[in-house]
A and B are shown apart, each in its own frame.
Chain A
Amino acid sequence: MKLKFKEIRKALYIFATEKTIGFTLIAIFLGLVIGAIFLAIAGFNPFQAYGIILRGIFSKPSYISYTIIRATPLILTGLSIAFAFKTGLFNIGAEGQYIIGSVVATAAGYFLHLPLFIHIPVVIISAVVAAGIWGGLAGYFKAKFGVHEVISTIMLNWIALYFQNFLIYTEGFQKPGGETSYSIQPTANMTILKAWKGSVAGREWLLQHPFWKDLLRTPMNWGFLIAILMAVLVWFILNKTALGYRLRAVGFNKFAAEYGGINVNKNLIISMFIAGGLAGLAGALQVVGVSHKVTLIAAMEGYGFDGIAVALIANSSAMGCILAGLLFGALKYGGAKIQPFMRAPSEVISIVIGSIVFFISIPKLIKLILTKKIKKGGTK
């Protein structure tokens, strides 16, 4: 019996030391346990709460669709941060890059009048380029003046936020009477069957097909597929291309990269440009697919900051970002439902997410605890 216990400990140790998916799963499980404890303390049945959350995610096609819609921007901001991580940069600025992406997408979607199949790509590309430049600025400041990217991106976040609010109060962009911008042109709208859903024929057809009616109730759009495509692209760039080699080399050891003839400063800027573009894409997809406009914001919306957690849970792997983004989207969307159904505070979900990130970030502690035990076991 004793021996078995030792073996389990050893297996756990390997789990914790090698960054396996198993380790991530343990962290997620522990996060859920902590959430359950808090729920129990607050006097709610955690099993009931998690049941509601699960049903709230999976029980209807529209729920699944909403979960995916919620996950899409998180996957992209997660990718943005993971990409920068790989180059040794900490992109706190995904938030601001997201804002720039959504503002520019709205502007391009509203002011430009283009045919359908040209308008959407133009909107998305202009938003990505603008947000890329926004991110690249932080890279440029670091390369040129040695300003740490954490400092500069935080500043740029606030600049982006107030820039958006400023624009919303600008005549010609502000929708009269509201604290929002005008909505984008129908040609820039990427929500699936948006016009048809509102038409008489469409409404009638949907009445007879409840599954599709429920599913299409949501602003379902192509954003999720684009996000997955981006994850594949990021994985490919980082691992299979000369550019990725350069970026990783700079991230791991910039002195050796410099010695090998790699232009470190240039690659810092490129990395931040790409990271910014990814976060900007999140904002652009949100506008063309879901919100169709930007509104006055009092505080950061958190897409960029949640992206940090997504990247952490994904251990900066591009494919992991898809899964972590989905997990996040599911917890946020499903978690909100315990409030109306149980009157339980949905803030518990923030505790769960926070705990997961915490457990992911402390493999050292887990390792320490396990090492001590194994060492003692080993001496006997």
Chain B
Amino acid sequence: MGYKDKAKSLTKVIEMKNITKKFGNFVANDSVNLDVFKGKVHALLGENGAGKSTLMNILYGLYSPTSGEILINGKKVDITNPNIAIEHGIGMVHQHFMLIKPFTVAQNIILGREPTSKFSVLNMKKAIKDVKEISERYGLYVDPNAKIEDISVSMQQRVEILKALYRGAEILILDEPTAVLTPQEIVELIQIIKNLTKEGKSIILISHKLKEIIAAADFCLIIRRGKHIDTVVVSETDEKGLASKMVGREVIFNVPKEDKKAGDEIFSIKDLVVKDNRGIVAVDNLNLSVKKGEILGLAGIDGNGQTELLEAITGLRKVESGEIKINGEDITNNTPFQIINKKISHIPEDRQKRGLILDFDISENMILENYHNYPFAKRGVLQYNNIKKYAKELINKFDVRPREESKLTGTLSGGNQQKVIIAREVTNDPDLLIAAQPTRGLDVGAIEFVHQSLIEQRNNDKAVFLISFELDEVMNVSDRIAVIYEGKIVGIVNAKEAKIEELGLMMAGGGSK
């Protein structure tokens, strides 16, 4: 039974018809059609920059379409700003939460719709009661009196969902909701989505994670470069089918890699202790080593010391005690400048905060660590001809789009931003390449590219240290897997022999040594 047959028996709550949105000459959406049904989950799948967010911003009133129309419950509407969208029962949970951190959960939820008693006095008791009521109804358990800054990211997401529901949302747009969640939390979120649809709510799920779409969605609209590709019934397809529609070609999920004997140990960490921002020990007597020609993967749940470990290695955070060595040289507490010169490159966790200067163009970002060296600078004066030539080479080699070295990196899509960083770091020809969350937020096509780059580095007999919260990624790419828990390595296994259950157990702190 195809999509059209299935759709016939369902009630349409939203119809977006032939939506086209142009920004100048650039067509972000090209006659896209989207129907959302009552009580169903409709996924929106597409690569970075395919136009998913544009379409949703149109529905939420942040952009107005160049042409096309929107119908809600069969009536044509003109959504010119988010307030109108909210009036029509549309709620949006953004990827980056819009919460006031020092306020409590309940205060955030009622914001803008505060219940009042006589003389406009805020009725906090009623607010808390209301919040409790809806949270129980949908199985979204939160503590209404907890402050936002004290609760976890997944709890904050629940607050965002509750906020939308409190405002009477019938249709919820979830923008990349799982990007910030751990595997366990993703399972919980999918359960919450199911509870919501059971109550008759409709969900639009923006995602490029195929697994979750398969697990959570009923239908899926696929957009590629702004064009409407297809709408499919999720139960009638699989990951491979979705992926090839999204990218427009066959996608390799597991980049093949040949067996390779690792060489000598090149990088080692001994009894490392690092504190976090609050002064609490985050890396606790950690020991690790990486050999030439191998990829060591570090698996673990977010917040177990990965960030502190990474920052300590790269000189961005002070080491309390212990020793870090590369090629036999001690680099403990060296400056980032010294560490880069010792041939360690680093693909940072947060590409926009650390990895790129968004107000610099591509060519300027390509020389971030080398701007002062010949041929990019001569006696302190930048040589723009050489810089541009170099940037052009890298852009072509690493397929950065658009192919314009003078484009500001802030205007690139996430995948292309990551390509700029990878191009820069890999071309520095490091002995050790550290890749932290290198595929976070990327679509399958870009992920494939990143994995290939890491494996190529390994095949060239370089050491690679991969830190990732995505267990699948660690298992597919690594040669050996170390598991971190509460700042300690709780086990190291060969990737070939690793079992997901075993790793999962270790990540939760229950593993064997």
Inter-chain contact B355/A256, CB cutoff 8 Å: yes
Q: Tell me, in angstroms, the Cα distance from A248 to B359 when the chains sit together.
A: 9
Residue of B nearest to A262 (CB): B337
- Contact of A379 with B380 in the complex, beta carbons under 8 Å: no
In this assembly, does A252 line the interface, its C-beta being within 8 Å of a C-beta of chain B?
A: yes
Q: Give the residue name and chain of the A residue nearest to B63 (CB).
A: A375
Which residues between 212 and 268 of chain A lie within 8 Å of chain B, taking CB atoms? 240-246, 248-249, 252-253, 255-263
Residues of B within 8 A of A243 (CB): 380
Interfacial residues of chain B within 31-87, with CB under 8 A of chain A in the complex:
64-66, 78, 80
Counting CB contacts under 8 A, is A378 at the interface?
yes
With A242-B371, A245-B382, A379-B64 in contact, is A259–B336 under 8 Å at CB? Answer: yes
Most A-side CB within 10 Å, residue of B64, B78, B316: B64
A253-B353 in contact (CB<8A): yes
In the assembled complex, the Cα of A258 lies from the Cα of B339 at a distance in Å of: 12
Q: With the chains together, A242 CA to B373 CA distance in Å?
A: 9
Asked whether A255 lies within 8 Å of B354 as measured between CB atoms, the reply is yes
Docked-complex contact A249 and B316, CB < 8 angstroms: no
Chain A interface residue count, Cβ-Cβ cutoff 8 angstroms: 24
| Nearest B-chain residue to A379, judged by Cβ | B64
- Which secondary structure characterizes the binding site on chain A? helix
Number of A-B contacts (CB under 8 A): 76
Expressed in whole angstroms, the Cα–Cα distance for A97 and B314 within the complex equals 38
Task: Judge whether A261 and B65 touch: CB under 8 Å.
Answer: no
Query: Would you call A261 and B335 a contact (CB within 8 A)?
Result: yes
B328-362 contact mask (Cβ, 8 Å, vs A): 1 or 0: 00000001110111000010100001111111100
B332 to chain A, nearest CB (A): 17
In the complex, A376 has a CB within 8 A of chain B = yes
| Interface secondary structure of B, over-half rule | loop
CA distance in complex: A143, B369 (Å):
22
Which residues of chain A have C-beta atoms less than 8 A from B341's C-beta? 261
* Interface presence of B134 (CB below 8 A): no
A260 and B336 contact, CB distance less than 8 A: yes
Interface pair B358/A253, CB less than 8 Å apart: yes
- CB of B358 within 8 A of CB of A252, answer yes
Are B357 and A257 neighbours in the complex by a CB distance under 8 Å? yes
Q: Are B64 and A252 in contact (CB under 8 A)?
A: no
Q: Chain B 363-376 against A: per-residue CB contact (8 Å), 1 yes, 0 no? A: 01000110110000
Q: How far is B337's CA from A258's CA once the two chains are assembled, in angstroms? A: 9
Q: Smallest CB–CB gap between B467 and chain A, Å? A: 15
A259 touching B346, Cβ below 8 Å? yes
Chain B residues, Cβ within 8 Å of A258:
316, 336
Q: How far is the CA of A228 from the CA of B66 in the complex (A)?
A: 48
Q: A259–B354 contact, CB under 8 A?
A: yes
Q: Does B280 contact A (CB under 8 A)?
A: no
Chain B residues with CB under 8 Å of A246's CB are: 371
| Docked pose: A204 CA to B381 CA in angstroms | 52
A258 nearest CB across to chain B (Å): 6
Contact call B371/A259, Cβ cutoff below 8 A = no
Task: With both chains docked as a complex, state the minimum distance between the C-beta of B15 and any C-beta of chain A, in angstroms.
Answer: 17
User: Knowing A241-B382, A252-B360 touch, does A259 contact B80 (C-beta < 8 A)?
Assistant: no
Q: Is B266 an interface residue (CB 8 A)?
A: no
Contact B369 A260 (CB under 8 A): yes
A359–B371 CA distance with the chains assembled, in angstroms? 38
Contact call B348/A241, Cβ cutoff below 8 A: no
List residues 295-311 of chain A with CB under 8 A from any CB of chain B.
Answer: none
Which of these, B80, B335, B356, B380, contacts A263 with CB under 8 Å? B335
Residues of A within 8 A of B337 (CB): 261-263
Q: How far is the CB of B367 from chain A (nearest CB, A)?
A: 8
Contact for A241 among B66, B357, B381, CB less than 8 A: B381
Could you tell me the distance in whole angstroms from the C-beta of B121 to the nearest C-beta in chain A? Answer: 34
Question: With a CB–CB cut-off of 8 A, which chain B residues contact A253?
Answer: 353, 356-359
Chain A contacts of B314 at CB under 8 A? 259
Interface residues of B in 268-320 (CB under 8 A from A): 314, 316
Given known contacts A249-B357, A260-B336, A379-B78, A240 and B381 CB-to-CB distance under 8 angstroms: yes
Judged by a CB distance under 8 angstroms, whether B495 is at the interface is: no
CB distance from B491 to the nearest CB of A (A): 30
Are B358 and A249 neighbours in the complex by a CB distance under 8 Å?
no
Chain B hits for A261, CB < 8 A: 335-337, 339-341, 369
Selected contact of A245 from candidates B316, B353, B364, CB within 8 Å: B364
* Whole-angstrom CA separation of A169 from B482 in the bound complex: 73
Q: A240-B381, A257-B357 are in contact. Are A378 and B64 (CB under 8 A)?
A: yes
Q: Which residue of the partner chain, among A241, A245, A259, A375, contacts B64 with CB atoms under 8 Å?
A: A375
Q: Name the residue of chain A whose CB is nearest to the CB of B338.
A: A261
Query: Within the complex, which residue of A242, A248, A378, A379 is in contact with B372, where a contact is CB–CB below 8 Å?
Result: A242
CA distance A263 to B336 in the complex (A): 9
A376 near B80: Cβ-Cβ < 8 Å: yes
Inter-chain contacts of A249 with B (CB < 8 A): 357, 360, 368
> What are some 14 contacts across the A-B interface (CB < 8 A)?
A240-B384, A242-B371, A244-B382, A245-B364, A245-B382, A253-B357, A255-B353, A256-B355, A256-B357, A259-B348, A259-B354, A261-B339, A375-B64, A378-B66
Nearest 4 Cβ contacts at the A-B interface? A261-B337, A260-B368, A252-B359, A259-B354
